[in-house]
Amino acid sequence: MKNSERSKIEFDYDGKHYVLMFTANSLKKMEKAGVKFAKLDDEIFTATEVLFWGAFLANYPAITRKETNEIYKALSRTMEDAEPEYDEDGKEIDKLQEALSTMLKEAVDELSGRGGNVSWKMT
């Protein structure tokens, strides 16, 4: 999958425009930094913050967790002011978590060979 075809999160913060996305390289950086992707579902209080930080790594590799946490908190405050949306069971939808999860799935699919434009077979 080309980077131009990926899902992205774009926003402005403190006078700067940001484009967040995941790539194979950013996922590898996250893993090297200690992120355990298999355990993210168990970390309900920190998973969104971890994914938010990781989504910066493709385009802003030098950004720190402290910087992304500050941006996350500011963005979360603006999202709290927005009208909530609910799923069919009446549960409030976390739009940021949903977007990050979609972006992560796309990058994982590419890494695992389920996405992209490569085809191969074993003979």
**Look-up: residue for tokens 């994914």?**
51
Instruction: Indicate whether this model's pTM tops 0.75.
Output: yes
Give me the chain's average pLDDT, please: 83
Nearest CA to 40 out of 29, 50, 30 is that of 50
Nearest CA to 48 out of 109, 82, 96 is that of 96
43-63 pLDDT tens trace: 767 888 999 999 999 999 999
Alpha helix positions (H), 7-64: 24-32, 47-56
Contact 115, 22 (CB under 8 A): no
